[in-house]
A and B are shown apart, each in its own frame.
Chain A
């Protein structure tokens, strides 16, 4: 939050520097033109009897004015945000004040250019610019007081401190302007803080909106899934039973000698199994079953999960859960489903034709259980980490995209968290952390 406030303040300050520099690029150019016009109108020529020549003020306006304008104009156009630009502009404005005073014949009114310039310079909201400008004014009066005292003070032998008197009036305005600068910056900081808070609130609102939208969508999908699953389960059970009966009869008949018949019966069985799994996933995802928490030893639960998982040749399932692991309270049915889905996912993560190992570990640390399911399979692309627990997301050609979504839903009901570590080509490790609870009983 503070960091964002600082970023926004920096951004506002840079924008202010850019705008003020743009203003000065126009002002500096306008002053130059104005200075030349002044010289042309007020003192176009110097005279000696009937002879005349171009007045020195014309050269001063064109060349000295051009010189004063050149560097700050270049910097305001090319480096509008730089502090060097601001300081050079501060010096140039005071030099322009001095030149305009000369070009107007020392008119008292022109001296207000100094104070007007200081007010303009305060737009930068940088006290250093005002300080530099004041040093230029004081130096101008000090040097002219030393070399041409009458031109500044109107007397031939002024007191040495007279330049301080002039500078003091400039400092008086500086004090007001510096105060205004700091106040302006404080207001900008306050605006930046408010904007940062607004951004944060808006982001939270956006996130909440996304969650609500997703939840609504998932609820609709869930209802549909539950309905479809429920409607399909009974016919599928009938098909499976019929298939089992027919298979048994066929295998005892002469048709069993027909290789194609046996092959097709096997195909039917696999596909019926696949359909059943899809329906189970849908129902697991959609059903809002209340938790039935009971002491549930982890190691035997893993063994049960191993027995349900469809294995693959060359893939070893290893249960490394300590026998004496304290017993947590779990909804056995739901948590077993979690483990089945994770282990099945790990088994299927093995590249085809390659041997591998799926290792399940568990430990207790500071009152919390940590259960890990790790494989040495293909790993998961880092870009997919955030998506794999989303419903209907799958990278498998025959997947439903519900396995890990079911895991996430059920773990959430348990108040558990799940983390993922994966490296492409090295394998994946899911780690479930159970909330702190008192162990229910000794290990089974």
Chain B
């Protein structure tokens, strides 16, 4: 079907406007997906006052999670893959942060169920984020890895973007450290929901 000159002009103009709108929307989405959450430097040594059980004979990974953060699903998926690749050289604990005032069972989300099903990881309730604060975690998905001697070898996220599965810098660094690479405390950006309520500095 041949379009008239005027009609073709209109279609061309509409297409340019459409492309601009779609490009702007996609860019905004990408900026959101790639905006890292808040992070502060964790302790260089395993916190002695922590109630989180540390593995003996191999490294321990602690991941702080908001039970309902949809972005953390990708972190849990990546944790599962990481533990599979680590083949017993890594023990993981996932801290499910339950703010004060949350109803009974609030923390028992699908994420809890998934973590509970992993052989090398166990979920742990963290009431009011006490343990998360000990590991300086502000963002859901924040992961710290301490070696057998209690030295911090990694801190950050294990996803490539917000709620995005797949290879990531964080997962690569942890595996490299487990494989014996001598890394100065490795860091990666973390992507996820804030663990704290807004009045404490978090933003949904």
Residues of A within 8 A of B (CB): 14, 17, 42-53, 55-57, 60, 63-64, 67-68, 70-71, 75, 79-82, 84, 88, 91, 95, 98-99, 102, 105-108, 144, 147-148, 150-156
Q: How many residues of B contact A (CB 8 A)?
A: 51
- Partner of B26 from A48, A98, A105 at Cβ < 8 Å: A98
Q: Which residues of B contact A43 (CB under 8 A)?
A: 70-71, 163
- The answer on a CB contact under 8 Å between A64 and B26 is yes
In whole angstroms, what is the CA distance A45 to B193 when docked?
Answer: 10
- Partner of B198 from A51, A63, A71 at Cβ < 8 Å: A51
Count of A-B residue pairs with CB < 8 Å: 146
- Partner of A151 from B8, B34, B66, B69 at Cβ < 8 Å: B34
In whole angstroms, what is the CA distance A63 to B26 when docked?
Answer: 11
Segment of B41-49, B55-63, B85-93, B166-174 in the binding face: B166-174
Q: A64-B25, A84-B8, A88-B15 are in contact. Are A51 and B197 (CB under 8 A)?
A: yes
Q: Pick the most buried of B30, B74, B102, B167: most chain A CB atoms within 10 A of its CB.
A: B30
- The answer on a CB contact under 8 Å between A108 and B165 is yes
The yes or no answer to B161 lying at the interface (CB within 8 A) is yes
Q: A52-B204, A84-B3 are in contact. Are A153 and B167 (CB under 8 A)?
A: yes
The yes or no answer to B68 lying at the interface (CB within 8 A) is yes
- The answer on a CB contact under 8 Å between A106 and B11 is no
Q: Pick the most buried of A71, A102, A150: most chain B CB atoms within 10 A of its CB.
A: A150
- The answer on a CB contact under 8 Å between B26 and A49 is no
Q: Which residues of B contact A17 (CB under 8 A)?
A: 1
Q: Which residues of B contact A75 (CB under 8 A)?
A: 11
- The answer on a CB contact under 8 Å between B11 and A82 is yes
Chain B's nearest CB lies how many Å from the CB of A362? 53
* Chain A binding surface, main DSSP class: helix
Q: Which residues of A contact B194 (CB under 8 A)?
A: 47-49
The yes or no answer to B73 lying at the interface (CB within 8 A) is yes
Chain A's nearest CB lies how many Å from the CB of B178? 17
The yes or no answer to B14 lying at the interface (CB within 8 A) is yes
Q: A48-B198, A84-B15, A95-B26 are in contact. Are A154 and B160 (CB under 8 A)?
A: yes
Q: Which residues of B contact A60 (CB under 8 A)?
A: 25, 29
- Partner of B22 from A42, A47, A53, A68 at Cβ < 8 Å: A68
In whole angstroms, what is the CA distance A50 to B151 when docked?
Answer: 33
What residue in chain A is nearest B14 (Cβ atoms)? A71
27 A-B pairs within 8 Å (CB atoms) are namely: A17-B1, A42-B73, A44-B70, A45-B204, A46-B70, A47-B69, A48-B202, A51-B202, A55-B70, A57-B163, A68-B22, A70-B18, A71-B18, A88-B15, A95-B22, A105-B77, A105-B164, A106-B74, A106-B164, A106-B165, A106-B166, A108-B165, A144-B30, A151-B34, A151-B160, A152-B160, A155-B169
Q: Which residues of B contact A14 (CB under 8 A)?
A: 1
Q: Which residues of B contact A53 (CB under 8 A)?
A: 204
Report B146-198 residues with CB < 8 Å from chain A CB: 160-161, 163-169, 171-172, 193-198
